[in-house]
Amino acid sequence: MAKWTSGETMTPGKGNPFKLRVRTGTDVSPEMTNQITTTVSAARIAVEWTVGKLSALNALEPYTKACLTRAFNTPAGGPDQATFELIKTKYVKIQNGIADADLAVKVGPLNDANGSVAFYPNPGPNKLPALEWDTDTSSWAPGGYGQIKIDFDYLKKRSHETKFYRPVKTFIHEASHRFASTADFYYYTEKSGWEAEDGPAFQGTPDLEWLKDNADSYGWFAVWLYYFATV
- The residue (of 84 and 91) whose beta carbon lies closer to Zn ion is 91
- The residue (of 60 and 222) whose beta carbon lies closer to Zn ion is 222
Smallest distance from the beta carbon of 184 to Zn ion, in angstroms? 4
SS3 readout for the chain? CCCECCCEEECCCCCCCEEEEEECCCCCCHHHHHHHHHHHHHHHHHHHHHHHHCCCHHHCCHHHHHHHHHHHCCCCCCCCHHHHHHHHHHHHHHHHHHHCCCCEEEECCCCCCCEEECCECCCCCCCCCCEEEECCCCEEEECCCCCEEECHHHHHHCHHHCCCCHHHHHHHHHHHHHHHCCECCEEEECCCEEEECCCCECCCCCCHHHHCCEHHHHHHHHHHHHHCCCC
Is residue 184 part of the contact set for Zn ion (CB under 5 A)? yes
Is residue 197 part of the contact set for Zn ion (CB under 5 A)? no
Distance (Å, rounded) from C-alpha 122 to C-alpha 100?
25
Smallest distance from the beta carbon of 103 to Zn ion, in angstroms? 18
In the shown chain, the binding pattern of residues 205 to 224 toward Zn ion, with x for contact by CB under 5 A and - for none, equals: ----------x---------
In the shown chain, the binding pattern of residues 130 to 169 toward Zn ion, with x for contact by CB under 5 A and - for none, equals: ----------------------------------------
- The residue (of 35 and 181) whose beta carbon lies closer to Zn ion is 181
Smallest distance from the beta carbon of 3 to Zn ion, in angstroms? 20
- The residue (of 71 and 215) whose beta carbon lies closer to Zn ion is 215
Single out the segment in contact with Zn ion by CB under 5 A; choices: 83-91, 95-103, 130-138, 184-192.
184-192
Smallest distance from the beta carbon of 194 to Zn ion, in angstroms? 14
- The residue (of 184 and 195) whose beta carbon lies closer to Zn ion is 184
Single out the segment in contact with Zn ion by CB under 5 A; choices: 8-16, 69-77, 86-94, 177-185.
177-185
User: Residue 197 class from Cβ within 10 Å (0-12 exposed, 13-18 middle, 19+ buried)?
Assistant: middle
Smallest distance from the beta carbon of 197 to Zn ion, in angstroms? 9
Binding site for Zn ion (CB under 5 A): 184, 215
